[in-house]
Amino acid sequence: MKTLHVDLGPTWRGGQNQVWLLLRGLRERGVEAELLGRADAPLLRRAREEDFVVHSVGASGARWRAAWKLRGLLRERAYDIVHAHDAHALTAVWLAGAHRRARLVATRRVVYPLAGGLGGARYRSAHRVVAVSEAVRKAMLASGLASERISVVYSGVELPPPANDADRRRARERFRLAPGEYVLGSVGMFHPDKGHESLLKTLAHMRKEAPLCRLLLAGEGPERERLEQLTRELQIEPAVHFTGFIEDVALVYAALDVFLFPAVDEGLGTALLTAMAYGLPVVALDRGAGPEIVEHDRSGLLVPNRKPETLAEAILALVGDPQAARRLGEGARARIAERFSAEQMVEGNLRVYRELTGAERSR
């Protein structure tokens, strides 16, 4: 089987990590996997370093450049599957007419309804839409996409070795955290939907009851300046650490006591999956894909909203009960191994490919 993967994301986020894990997993299973993307993207750089066949386009007008490049590739090479991993990639693939020359797969990672007109036409041209959760599948169905054209394949993460005392000490030294401080944290782009503002207000709300709590926010994005200003207004600057983009994100997870995920209507959330894989107790919202991932009081805590008093109650329950926090962390890691591993994600996508090409029947 010969597959081409198209991702036009300019940065390294959860979606790009999923593409990377998929490329590696397919190679291990003897499936040819090539990548088309932006020349300046970290994903393309990593793929090239690992000797994958890569096809690059410039950043300016990337969708049009990718469509033109793809037309040539489709004439020169016989792909069984063309897989578009983001909305811009799907636009390029659709413009190139890939759905007429190969089986087209489109991954959908968000729970927003499909746009009308040309926006929806792109997804309807796909032979299969891979939804990363049941929440995303339901949004696709509500937008009028036929159920038989949707497959749920959960995003997956690798299960790392549990952080030991040396890892924890090194991570805390990196972020200048004192040994007795209780560290809450979040990893992700600073965007209004992610809920960082609620985390800052929650920390301010609980400072009297938990003066040793600190908040570690890893990431970058358009909201950072506003969030830093809010930190000053709430007078919690000494207790908040903005780390910026961290390439070795394992350091962040090793430094934390609790991971917070107050994102609204998240399609799945690979940062949450990764935190659970590291064995961290997590607090997430009981909406979107949250209930699909976290089993309340078994692999984390689910809260109904992100009001400061609501989040504070859940966090303080973990601060005051180390044994419960440890139990939830162990349950979180077991949950990832059971249902959200990178291996399961690769096998799920490969099963879709085989169904579309008839390889499943021949097997």
Domain ranges of the chain: 2-156+341-362, 165-339
- For domain 2-156+341-362, give the CATH number: 3.40.50.2000
Contact 223, 198 (CB under 8 A): no
Name every residue whose Cβ is closer than 8 Å to that of residue 148 and which is 6 or more positions away in sequence.
none
pLDDT on residue 359: 67
Q: What is the pLDDT along the chain (363 residues), one digit of tens a residue?
A: 999 999 999 998 889 999 999 999 999 999 999 999 999 999 999 999 999 999 999 999 999 999 999 999 999 999 999 999 999 999 999 999 999 999 999 999 998 888 776 678 899 999 999 999 999 999 999 999 999 999 999 999 999 988 788 999 999 999 999 989 999 999 988 988 889 999 999 999 998 899 999 999 999 999 999 999 999 999 999 999 999 988 888 999 999 999 999 988 788 889 999 999 999 999 999 988 899 999 999 999 999 999 999 999 999 999 999 999 999 999 999 999 999 999 999 999 999 999 999 965 444
CATH assignment of 165-339, among 3.40.50.2000, 1.20.1600.10, 3.30.2130.10, 3.10.20.30: 3.40.50.2000
Contact 108, 136 (CB under 8 A): yes
Contact 336, 276 (CB under 8 A): yes
pLDDT on residue 192: 87
Measured from the Cβ of residue 173, the count of other Cβ atoms closer than 10 Å reads 11
Closest alpha carbon to 187 in 253, 276, 254:
253
Name every residue whose Cβ is closer than 8 Å to that of residue 156 and which is 6 or more positions away in sequence.
18, 21, 273, 340, 341, 342, 343, 344, 345, 346
pLDDT on residue 118: 67
Burial of residue 151, with CB atoms counted within 10 A of its CB: 0-12 exposed, 13-18 middle, 19 or more buried: middle
- What span, in angstroms and rounded, lies between the C-alpha atoms of 215 and 44? 33
Closest alpha carbon to 241 in 172, 152, 308:
172
Cross-strand partners of 56: 37
Whole-prediction pTM: 0.91
Contact 253, 280 (CB under 8 A): yes
Contact 73, 92 (CB under 8 A): no
Tokens, residue 282? 């997590």
Tokens, residue 127? 């032979």
At 160 the three-state DSSP class reads coil
- What span, in angstroms and rounded, lies between the C-alpha atoms of 159 and 157? 6
